[in-house]
């Protein structure tokens, strides 16, 4: 869950990788480091956010070749020593890594027995020492990297800079890595965001592939050492989409972009949607799987398929899905949802299904991502770059596509499109200054609360769970979501005078029951915040949302995204980079 970047070309490589790290910082921001080649390898690394660092701060001479890293720690404390890059003993090469070496303890023990010393607590240093050990046998860095990398267990990507032949080497298995090809320049990165300033021509590296970058590039199969020819693809994202513009934070920018992104999600091939619906209807056992916010989208999707298509869809979080492998067979179908397309637990769920020859349909935001390329069918949600760690616009785009698939499975595709286009129009009307101001005022009122509870029924139970995530991750207020009927089975004991409770009240068959649940909380002193198309006497504070039938999860989550944002601002927190979190979860 780190960001890695490498550059060789005609620009100042130090400046390129520094700016690239700032673009990648949402992947990890507890420490950072840069290694540049200018005769020898110069190394600068430190703890903290790289977004605060200027080119002058680095005190590195201009260079044509550099690698860099922004860290989300998994092994070892957050300190300067553990920050990447890591040097070889003779400082001939330096290395950065994204991923986890699952067998690092075993490898570290073997290397210690051979006399190797370790200066850090990281699993990354094990890779460095392992390459050094293999170099004693082969005296060829490329072959040593290949041999060492093939001994690693787990999902990993590495980039190595070598001073002797002025070459960059990069390898991946399970962890994302891509090569941008510009005019007399090459740039490696964990995701497309830092590439957009330089090129839209990109090669997505696959598992067990290695690329060398000298005067040109060459790609090899890591296991056979055979050179591979790969297709150059074109990125469709606009570089302006990855900029904040006039907004103070990416999170609020991306929330406001939902005026447009929900409609963009609906720009799909109708025949593909209808064919996917047929696959879903013909499958024997359909499962919807995602992690975090994407998991809540999947859960909401199971209600959409039940309500609209009268079809049962199973749900599991990606990390839990392998426990159900006994039920998977060749006619099974897995629907996976992931913003990044690189989520490790979701990829493992896919492997569970594909080992039984089942099929995978994916909803992803990043073109060419691992999940997209490993799926039998894939839909791009077309949300554009989502930089804030907290997912907003990708969430509603994913929800829109899940609802559309449910309508298509019911042979009601056109009806679904009408509903969702109307929903997108209603969101455009809802996201105005007055609406935002009312939520900012609510945030000021509840910012010092210790707990917030959220209730919903049906698909809005899933949205209650998602709303809790939003509030937790950016405001650090304890928040929990519950099925409306479950609160009185225990959690209602936590309600005290003025405890905020958000109730999602849709105009559907659950309305009377959820209002009754809200009254149960209010009668015990709770402060009821109603998210509903109509006001009700039970509400202490009413957040008005459009009445959009089965699309209510889309319009209901948006005000909580805004509320979470303003809670973070009111508590003097950075909503774009919450503590302990990273955007793309590429480790299990």
- For the stretch 385-432, pLDDT in tens is 898 989 999 999 999 999 999 999 999 999 999 999 999 999 999 999
pLDDT of residue 487: 83
**Residue 85 DSSP symbol:** P
> What residue has token string 């090809």?
181
| Nearest-angstrom CA–CA distance, 180 and 346 | 26
Non-local (6+) Cβ contacts of 588 within 8 A are: 100, 155, 319, 344, 345, 348
Instruction: Work out the pLDDT band at 49, boundaries 50, 70, 90.
Output: confident
Query: pTM of the prediction?
Result: 0.83
CATH number assigned to the domain with residue range 3-235, chosen from the 4 options 3.20.20.60, 3.40.50.720, 3.60.20.10, 3.80.10.10: 3.60.20.10
| Mean pLDDT across 556-572 | 98
| Cα–Cα separations (whole angstroms), residue 539 to 96, 146, 515, 526 | 53, 63, 9, 10
- Is residue 542 very low, low, confident or very high in pLDDT (cuts 50, 70, 90)? very high
Side by side, which strands form the sheet with 3-9? Answer: 40-47, 31-38, 65-71, 3-9, 185-189, 178-182, 201-204, 233-234
Average pLDDT, the chain: 92
Q: How confident is the model at residue 581 (pLDDT cuts 50, 70, 90)?
A: confident
State the CB neighbour count (10 A cutoff) for residue 479: 24
Coil, helix or strand for 306?
helix
Query: What does the alpha-carbon distance between residue 253 and residue 265 come to, in Å, rounded to a whole number?
Result: 18
Give the Cα separation of 505 and 535 in Å (integer): 10
Q: Can you give the pLDDT at residue 588?
A: 52
Q: Which contiguous run of DSSP H or E holds residue 17?
A: helix 13-24
Q: In this predicted structure, which of 7-16, 21-30, 375-384, 576-585 has the lowest mean pLDDT?
A: 576-585
Q: In the CATH scheme, what is the code of domain 250-570?
A: 3.40.50.10490
Structure tokens at 369: 């991502």
Neighbouring-strand partners of residue 98: 157
In angstroms, the CA 189 to CA 8 distance is 12
Least confident span in 252-266, 488-502, 532-546 = 488-502
Predicted local distance difference test score (pLDDT) of residue 582: 62
Q: Indicate where the chain has its CATH 3.40.50.10490 domain(s).
A: 250-570
Distance CA 8, CA 214 (A): 8
- For residue 298 the two structure tokens come to 């999947």
Distance CA 183, CA 216 (A): 11
pLDDT in tens, 226-270: 999 999 988 877 666 667 778 999 999 999 999 999 999 999 999
Q: Look at residue 491 in the predicted model and tell me its pLDDT.
A: 83
Residue limits of CATH 3.60.20.10 in the chain: 3-235
pLDDT in tens, 64-88: 999 999 887 777 787 888 888 998 9
Distances (CA, A) of 11 to 22, 183, 186: 17, 11, 10
The whole-number average pLDDT for the span 453-468 is: 97
User: Which structure tokens are listed for 265?
Assistant: 């999600």
Q: Supply the pLDDT for residue 586.
A: 54
Residue 482: phi, psi to the nearest 5? Answer: -140, 155
Catalogue the active-site residues.
2, 583
pLDDT at 365: 93
Q: What is the pLDDT of residues 98-153, one digit of tens each?
A: 988 999 999 999 999 999 999 888 889 999 999 999 999 998 999 999 999 999 99
Structure tokens given for 330: 């060749």
At residue 510, φ and ψ (nearest 5 deg) are -90, -5
SS3 string, 137-168, reads HHCCHHHHHHHHHCCCCCCEEEEEEECCCCEE
Q: Would you place residue 311 in the very low, low, confident or very high pLDDT band (cuts 50, 70, 90)?
A: very high
- R_g over Cα of the chain: 25
pLDDT surpassing 90 at residue 24: no
To 10 degrees, what angle do helices 413-430 and 270-282 make?
120
Strand partners, 569: none
Q: Has residue 567 got a pLDDT over 90? A: yes
How much is the average pLDDT of 21-42? Answer: 86
Q: By C-alpha distance, which of 585, 587, 582 is closest to 25?
A: 582
**pLDDT score at 402:** 98
Q: What is the pLDDT of residue 587?
A: 53
């Amino acid at each position: 869950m780190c960001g890695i970047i490498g550059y060789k070309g005609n620009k100042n490589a130090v400046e390129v990788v520094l700016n690239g790290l700032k673009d990648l910082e949402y992947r990890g921001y507890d420490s950072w480091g840069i290694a540049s080649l200018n005769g020898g390898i110069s190394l600068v690394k430190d703890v903290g956010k790289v977004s605060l660092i200027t080119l002058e701060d680095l005190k590195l001479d201009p260079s044509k070749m550099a690698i860099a890293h922004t860290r989300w720690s998994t092994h070892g404390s957050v300190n300067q020593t553990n920050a990447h890059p890591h040097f070889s003993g003779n400082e001939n090469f330096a290395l950065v890594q994204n991923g986890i070496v699952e067998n690092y303890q075993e490898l570290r023990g073997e290397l210690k027995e051979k006399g190797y010393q370790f200066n850090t607590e990281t699993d990354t240093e094990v890779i460095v020492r392992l390459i050094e050990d293999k170099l004693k046998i082969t005296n060829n860095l490329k072959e040593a990297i290949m041999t060492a990398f093939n001994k690693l267990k787990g999902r990993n990507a590495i980039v190595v800079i070598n001073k002797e032949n002025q070459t960059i080497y990069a390898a991946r298995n399970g962890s994302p890595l891509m090569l941008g090809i510009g005019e007399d320049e090459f740039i490696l990165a964990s995701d497309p965001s830092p590439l957009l300033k330089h090129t839209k021509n990109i090669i997505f590296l696959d598992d067990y592939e290695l690329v060398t970058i000298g005067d040109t590039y060459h790609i090899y199969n890591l296991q056979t050492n055979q050179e591979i020819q790969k297709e150059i693809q074109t990125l469709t994202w606009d570089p302006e989409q990855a900029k904040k513009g006039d907004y103070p934070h990416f999170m609020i920018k991306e929330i406001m972009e939902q005026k447009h992104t929900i409609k963009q999600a609906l720009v799909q091939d109708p025949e593909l949607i209808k064919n996917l619906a047929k696959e879903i209807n013909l499958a024997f056992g359909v499962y919807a799987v995602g992690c975090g916010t994407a998991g809540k989208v999947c859960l909401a999707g199971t209600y959409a398929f039940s309500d609209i298509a009268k079809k049962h869809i199973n749900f599991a979080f990606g990390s839990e899905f392998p426990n159900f492998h006994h039920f998977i067979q060749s006619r099974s179908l897995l629907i996976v949802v992931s913003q990044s397309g690189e989520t490790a637990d979701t990829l493992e769920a896919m492997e569970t299904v594909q080992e039984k020859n089942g099929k995978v349909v994916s909803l992803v935001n990043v073109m060419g991502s691992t999940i997209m390329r490993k799926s039998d069918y894939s839909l791009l949600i077309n949300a554009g770059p989502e930089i804030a760690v907290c997912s907003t616009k990708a969430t509603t785009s994913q929800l829109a596509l899940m609802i559309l698939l449910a309508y298509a499975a019911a042979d009601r595709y056109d009806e679904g499109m009408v509903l969702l286009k109307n929903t997108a129009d209603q969101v455009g009307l809802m996201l105005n200054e007055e609406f935002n101001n009312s939520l900012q005022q609510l945030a000021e009122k509840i910012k010092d609360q210790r707990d917030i509870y959220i209730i919903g029924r049906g698909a809005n139970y899933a949205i209650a769970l998602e709303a809790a995530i939003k509030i937790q991750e950016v405001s650090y207020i304890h928040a929990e979501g519950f099925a409306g009927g479950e609160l009185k089975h225990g959690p209602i004991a936590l309600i005290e005078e003025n405890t905020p409770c958000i109730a999602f009240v849709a105009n559907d068959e659950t309305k009377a029951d959820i209002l009754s649940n809200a009254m149960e909380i209010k009668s015990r002193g709770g402060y009821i915040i109603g998210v509903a198309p109509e006001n009700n006497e039970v509400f202490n504070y009413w957040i008005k949302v459009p009445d959009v039938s089965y699309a209510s999860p889309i319009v209901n989550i948006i005000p909580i995204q805004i509320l979470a944002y303003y809670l973070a601002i009111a508590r003097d927190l950075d909503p774009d980079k919450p503590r302990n979190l990273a955007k793309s979860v590429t480790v299990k």
